[in-house]
A and B are shown apart, each in its own frame.
Chain A
């Protein structure tokens, strides 16, 4: 073999290598091997993402333009489902508004409540661990049990809540069976089940991450308790607050199980939430097309909310690392 051909095969091999290398974005043979293994380890998630997440998202976008009862194949109906939702479905707007109203109360009250609990725990008093556990336990209750036990607590005559209200001379409402009080009752249940949960622990970690030196500096500048909270604590934990806010809104708008178990959306639709409406349409009436359209409207609303919060966050979220 002549030296020249030897050189040419080496060049050919190098070019060949660089083609594969180009695909995986690697520079050397070793890096190609490594990248290949990276893809192999990633592959379960690629499959899962396509089959169980991205595929379904596109499928439901398509179903939204069809009439589909799962047995017959879907028939294209254009924007009919969306027209039906906005103009004909008399439960659409009220249920959407109800979920919003629920979130508008549960998210801020829950966030502030969790923060207050975390600040109380952060004082480091004796038996902090015991208090933390006691406050945390309600959030472990499965939602079905949560709804069942609170329905019993809210019993108009035999429940302890109205009994205690009776001691102070208040005639308690009928709660779950009252058109007016069912929604507030669901809100109370939800707050009980979430205020001391993961959100509180995340806040607690955020508070513990605030450097003590900042408080000392603020103290030297003459800041009181309120000043320290407003000028040190709040800015320092604002990223945590933002994280909890985003997840809180997404979670709250999806409220379903509580009303499904405790009130079945009633009485007279007083707790008929949007997610319950989707469930009813899709899995009880088997209107998959209409259900998918409703779900897509929901995703777009959530997207708008998240974008809005991301934009607003630039004004109030402070990232210490960015200086």
Chain B
């Protein structure tokens, strides 16, 4: 018996040792591609930053220099004076804040209904909700435009944020519903016995417990709205109302002075468009990753 056990343990340690050896041998097989891929993935961003700090002369030299001779920080100031860049940032933020607020409020209310109430048609409604996630935006784009045109909202910013207040999108409803369903029902029940109303339970129990999921929805909504292009492109037609994404595309087509490259300015503008997303990502990385992962698991 004892001999058996020792034999087993020997076998085990030997297996562990060989596994360790294999792992060590395989380590370079992991590190080398990871390092190379990381460099490949980061290079375009590095190149953008580097180009944004060059002089017009330097950006036009061949072969290109990898790092600017003297960083031209004033390129960034030039961007802001050449086009109403700060106004575009303000417009983008305006839409992001209004849209995200609407998304948070309405999607959590709807998710609460799906997760905690029983009524006829609930499951069919939920299936339809999931189905809308597979719908390509193109099919609703035209009739929505017609609708907003008819009620006089074109051109304006309203079509870009008002819909967010009506449900906040299928994905966010889904994400919050899953989260609420994972919360223990005892708290709700205790509150019901104490005579609390459902809005009270929602505000005092569900919302505080949902904070991590709400943060996830907020982060994803922020980035999605910051990135969005085709909708603002359709609904905004004056320079002063452009969002940053639409402004960037306009900036690209701005007539150049003859012989004067604008690539360095364009790259500086791109850096400015990417920066806020990166800042948000680094400050809320946990929520971000959680949200994406949650979306995949139940799929």
B-binding residues in A (CB < 8 A)? 23-26, 31, 34-35, 37-42, 44-49, 51-53, 55-57, 59-60, 63, 68, 70, 117, 120-121, 123, 125, 131, 133-138, 140-145, 148-150, 152-153, 157-160, 163, 166, 192, 196, 198, 201-206, 209, 239-240, 242-244, 246-247, 250, 253-254, 256-257, 260-261, 275, 278-279, 282-283, 288, 291-292, 295-296, 298-299, 302, 306
Residue interface bits B23-46, CB-to-A below 8 A is 1, else 0: 000110011011001100111110
B166 touches A282 (CB 8 A): no
Contact of A41 among B48, B112, B139 (CB under 8 A): B112
B34 touches A149 (CB 8 A): no
A45 touches B167 (CB 8 A): yes
B106 touches A35 (CB 8 A): no
B270 proximal to A (CB < 8 A): yes
Q: A53-B135, A239-B299 are in contact. Are A158 and B59 (CB under 8 A)?
A: yes
Residue interface bits B251-277, CB-to-A below 8 A is 1, else 0: 010000000000100110010011001
What are 27 A-B residue pairs whose CB atoms fall within 8 Å in the complex?
A: A35-B117, A37-B117, A39-B119, A42-B122, A45-B106, A45-B166, A45-B167, A47-B166, A56-B142, A131-B34, A140-B278, A141-B45, A142-B248, A142-B277, A157-B62, A163-B63, A201-B296, A202-B295, A205-B293, A246-B134, A254-B136, A256-B230, A279-B230, A282-B142, A283-B145, A292-B142, A298-B138
Segment from B1-9, B68-76, B78-86, B221-229 that makes contact with A: B221-229
Q: A140-B274, A140-B278 are in contact. Are A52 and B144 (CB under 8 A)?
A: yes
Chain A residue at minimal CB-CB distance from B50:
A160
| CB proximity of A24 to chain B, nearest CB, Å | 5
A161 to B281, CA, bound (A): 28
B163 touches A45 (CB 8 A): no
A80 to B289, CA, bound (A): 48
Q: A35-B120, A144-B248 are in contact. Are A298 and B139 (CB under 8 A)?
A: yes
Q: A70-B146, A198-B292, A206-B296 are in contact. Are A138 and B45 (CB under 8 A)?
A: yes
Q: A53-B132, A149-B48 are in contact. Are A295 and B113 (CB under 8 A)?
A: no
| CB proximity of A9 to chain B, nearest CB, Å | 27
| CB proximity of B136 to chain A, nearest CB, Å | 5
Q: A44-B165, A295-B139, A302-B134 are in contact. Are A24 and B119 (CB under 8 A)?
A: yes
- The interface residues of chain A lying within 8 Å CB-to-CB of B285 are 133
For chain B, the count of residues having a C-beta within 8 Å of the partner chain is 91
Q: A202-B292, A243-B299, A254-B137 are in contact. Are A145 and B143 (CB under 8 A)?
A: no
Contact of A152 among B26, B27, B34, B266 (CB under 8 A): B266
A221 to B120, CA, bound (A): 51
A257 touches B129 (CB 8 A): no
- The interface residues of chain A lying within 8 Å CB-to-CB of B51 are 152
- The interface residues of chain A lying within 8 Å CB-to-CB of B234 are 283
B239 proximal to A (CB < 8 A): no
| CB proximity of B46 to chain A, nearest CB, Å | 10
Chain B residue at minimal CB-CB distance from A51:
B166
Q: A41-B113, A125-B31, A135-B38 are in contact. Are A60 and B292 (CB under 8 A)?
A: no
Contact of B119 among A35, A261, A278 (CB under 8 A): A35
Which 4 interchain pairs have the tightest Cβ spacing?
A48-B166, A38-B117, A243-B299, A202-B296
- The interface residues of chain B lying within 8 Å CB-to-CB of A201 are 289, 292-293, 296
- The interface residues of chain B lying within 8 Å CB-to-CB of A117 are 37
Residue from B48, B146, B234, B281 whose CB has the most chain A CB atoms within 10 Å: B146
A144 to B92, CA, bound (A): 14
Residue interface bits B176-192, CB-to-A below 8 A is 1, else 0: 00000000000000000
Chain B residue at minimal CB-CB distance from A158:
B64
B134 touches A306 (CB 8 A): yes
| CB proximity of B74 to chain A, nearest CB, Å | 20
Chain B contact residues, majority secondary structure: helix
A44 touches B109 (CB 8 A): yes
Residue interface bits B112-151, CB-to-A below 8 A is 1, else 0: 1110111111100100110010111111111111110100
A35 to B125, CA, bound (A): 14
Residue from B106, B122, B142, B278 whose CB has the most chain A CB atoms within 10 Å: B142
- The interface residues of chain B lying within 8 Å CB-to-CB of A41 are 109-110, 112-113, 117, 198, 202
Q: A60-B143, A134-B38, A142-B277 provided; 9 other pairs, C-beta below 8 A?
A: A25-B121, A45-B173, A53-B132, A142-B274, A144-B245, A152-B48, A202-B297, A242-B299, A292-B142
- The interface residues of chain B lying within 8 Å CB-to-CB of A25 are 118-121
Q: A35-B118, A131-B34, A240-B299 are in contact. Are A282 and B289 (CB under 8 A)?
A: no
| CB proximity of A262 to chain B, nearest CB, Å | 9
B293 touches A202 (CB 8 A): yes
Q: A41-B109, A56-B147, A148-B252 are in contact. Are A158 and B60 (CB under 8 A)?
A: yes
B153 proximal to A (CB < 8 A): no
Q: A41-B110, A56-B143 are in contact. Are A145 and B163 (CB under 8 A)?
A: no
- The interface residues of chain B lying within 8 Å CB-to-CB of A192 are 41, 44
Residue interface bits B279-296, CB-to-A below 8 A is 1, else 0: 001000100010011011
A298 to B143, CA, bound (A): 15
Q: A142-B226, A201-B293 are in contact. Are A44 and B273 (CB under 8 A)?
A: no
B47 proximal to A (CB < 8 A): yes
B277 touches A60 (CB 8 A): no
| CB proximity of B88 to chain A, nearest CB, Å | 11
